[in-house]
Amino acid sequence: MTRWINAAGAALLILLCSVTHADEGMWTFHGFPLDKANSTLKTKLNQAWLDRIRLATVRLSNCTGSFVSGDGLILTNHHCVESCLADLSSKEKSLIGDGFLARGRAQEKECQTQLAAVLTEMEEVTAKVAAATAGKSDQAANDARKAELTRLESACEAQSKLKCQAVTLYEGGQYWLYKYKRYTDIRMVFAPEESIASFGGDPDNFQFPRWSLDMGVLRAYENNKPAKTPVFLKINFAGPAAGDPVLVSGHPGTTDRLLTVAELKAQRNYEIPNWLLRNSELRGRLIRFAEESPDNARIAADLLNSLENSIKVRRKQQDALLDDALFARKSAEEAALRAQVAANPELRTAIGDPWTEIEKAQAIKAGLYQPYLQIETGAGFQGRLMTYARVLVRGATERTKPNNERFREYTDAALPRIEQQLGAAVPVYPELEKLRIEFGLERMREWLGPDHPIVRQLLVKESPTELANRLVSGSKLADPAARLALWQGGEAAIAASNDPLIVLAREIEPKARELRKEFEDKVEAPVDLAAEKIARARFASLGTSVYPDATFTLRLNWGTVGAWVENGKPIDPFTQLSGLFARATGAAPFRIPDSWLAVRDKLDMNTLFNLATNSDIVGGNSGSPLISAKGEVVGLLFDGNIHSISGSYWFDTEKNRAVAVHPAIMREALTKVYGADTLLKELTAK
Nearest distance, CB of residue 189 and a second copy, angstroms: 32
User: Contact between 273 and a second copy (CB under 8 A)?
Assistant: yes
Classify the C-alpha dihedral 306-311-316-322 as positive or negative.
Answer: positive
Stretch of 29-37, 455-463, 523-531, 609-617 lying at the interface with a second copy (CB under 8 A): 455-463
User: Contact between 282 and a second copy (CB under 8 A)?
Assistant: yes
Contact between 176 and 167 (Cβ < 8 Å): yes
The C-alpha atoms of residue 57 and residue 75 are separated, in whole angstroms, by: 10
Nearest distance, CB of residue 462 and a second copy, angstroms: 6
Report which of 37, 68, 212 is spatially closest to residue 626, judged by C-alpha positions. Answer: 68
Classify the C-alpha dihedral 199-202-208-214 as positive or negative.
Answer: positive
Helix (H) or strand (E) holding 203: helix 201-204
- Is residue 203 classed exposed, middle or buried when 0-12, 13-18 and 19+ CB atoms within 10 A define those classes? exposed
Using CB under 8 A, which of 208, 232, 289, 388 touches a second copy?
289
- For residue 195, report the phi and psi dihedrals to the nearest 5 degrees: -65, -25
Nearer to a second copy, 100 or 381 (CB): 381
* Cα→Cα distances 390→46, 478, 542, Å: 48, 14, 44
Contact between 168 and 254 (Cβ < 8 Å): no
User: Contact between 292 and a second copy (CB under 8 A)?
Assistant: yes
Using CB under 8 A, which of 397, 465, 578, 678 touches a second copy?
465
Using CB under 8 A, which of 44, 161, 461, 686 touches a second copy?
461
Report which of 379, 653, 553, 616 is spatially closest to residue 14, judged by C-alpha positions. Answer: 553
Stretch of 338-346, 439-447, 539-547, 624-632 lying at the interface with a second copy (CB under 8 A): 439-447
The C-alpha atoms of residue 637 and residue 254 are separated, in whole angstroms, by: 17
Using CB under 8 A, which of 95, 459, 486, 494 touches a second copy?
459
Q: By CB under 8 A, how many residues form the interface with a second copy?
A: 48
Using CB under 8 A, which of 243, 352, 367, 450 touches a second copy?
450
Nearest distance, CB of residue 125 and a second copy, angstroms: 40
Stretch of 79-87, 147-155, 263-271, 412-420 lying at the interface with a second copy (CB under 8 A): 263-271
Phi/psi region, residue 69 (left: phi>0; alpha: psi -120 to 50; beta: rest), is: beta
Nearest distance, CB of residue 71 and a second copy, angstroms: 41
User: Contact between 375 and a second copy (CB under 8 A)?
Assistant: no
The pattern of x and - marking residues 565 through 594 that bind a second copy according to CB under 8 A reads --------------------xxxx-x----
User: Contact between 97 and a second copy (CB under 8 A)?
Assistant: no
Nearest distance, CB of residue 442 and a second copy, angstroms: 8
Report which of 591, 587, 600, 613 is spatially closest to residue 668, judged by C-alpha positions. Answer: 600
Nearest distance, CB of residue 288 and a second copy, angstroms: 4
Stretch of 53-61, 150-158, 458-466, 628-636 lying at the interface with a second copy (CB under 8 A): 458-466
Using CB under 8 A, which of 124, 291, 491, 594 touches a second copy?
291
Nearer to a second copy, 327 or 539 (CB): 327
The C-alpha atoms of residue 87 and residue 3 are separated, in whole angstroms, by: 18
Nearer to a second copy, 203 or 416 (CB): 203
The C-alpha atoms of residue 243 and residue 162 are separated, in whole angstroms, by: 40
Nearer to a second copy, 124 or 291 (CB): 291
User: Contact between 281 and a second copy (CB under 8 A)?
Assistant: yes
Nearest distance, CB of residue 524 and a second copy, angstroms: 24
The C-alpha atoms of residue 452 and residue 636 are separated, in whole angstroms, by: 49
Using CB under 8 A, which of 89, 318, 551, 628 touches a second copy?
318
Stretch of 276-284, 337-345, 376-384, 674-682 lying at the interface with a second copy (CB under 8 A): 276-284
- For residue 343, report the phi and psi dihedrals to the nearest 5 degrees: -85, 0
Contact between 639 and 241 (Cβ < 8 Å): no
By CB under 8 A, the residues from 323 to 342 that bind a second copy are: 324
User: Contact between 366 and a second copy (CB under 8 A)?
Assistant: no
- Is residue 672 classed exposed, middle or buried when 0-12, 13-18 and 19+ CB atoms within 10 A define those classes? middle
User: Contact between 563 and a second copy (CB under 8 A)?
Assistant: no
Using CB under 8 A, which of 79, 283, 436, 657 touches a second copy?
283
The C-alpha atoms of residue 418 and residue 424 are separated, in whole angstroms, by: 10
The C-alpha atoms of residue 509 and residue 390 are separated, in whole angstroms, by: 8
Nearest distance, CB of residue 530 and a second copy, angstroms: 20
Tally of residues, the chain: 686
Nearest distance, CB of residue 310 and a second copy, angstroms: 13
Other CB atoms closer than 10 Å to residue 517's CB: what's the count?
12
Nearest distance, CB of residue 590 and a second copy, angstroms: 7
Phi/psi region, residue 567 (left: phi>0; alpha: psi -120 to 50; beta: rest), is: left
Nearer to a second copy, 22 or 588 (CB): 588
Using CB under 8 A, which of 19, 277, 335, 582 touches a second copy?
277
User: Contact between 384 and a second copy (CB under 8 A)?
Assistant: no
Rg (C-alpha) for the chain, rounded Å, is 25
- For residue 62, report the phi and psi dihedrals to the nearest 5 degrees: -145, 30
- For residue 225, report the phi and psi dihedrals to the nearest 5 degrees: -130, 155
User: Contact between 316 and a second copy (CB under 8 A)?
Assistant: no
Classify the C-alpha dihedral 485-486-490-494 as positive or negative.
Answer: positive
User: Contact between 460 and a second copy (CB under 8 A)?
Assistant: yes
SS3 (DSSP) at 7: coil
User: Contact between 90 and a second copy (CB under 8 A)?
Assistant: no
The C-alpha atoms of residue 530 and residue 533 are separated, in whole angstroms, by: 5
Angle, CA of 465, 471 and 477, to the nearest 5°: 145
Nearer to a second copy, 378 or 589 (CB): 589
Using CB under 8 A, which of 11, 55, 101, 276 touches a second copy?
276
By CB under 8 A, the residues from 178 to 207 that bind a second copy are: 200, 202-204, 207
Q: Which residues bind a second copy (CB under 8 A)?
A: 200, 202-204, 207, 265, 268-270, 273, 276-278, 280-289, 291-292, 315, 318-319, 322, 324, 435, 439, 445-446, 449-450, 459-463, 465-466, 585-588, 590
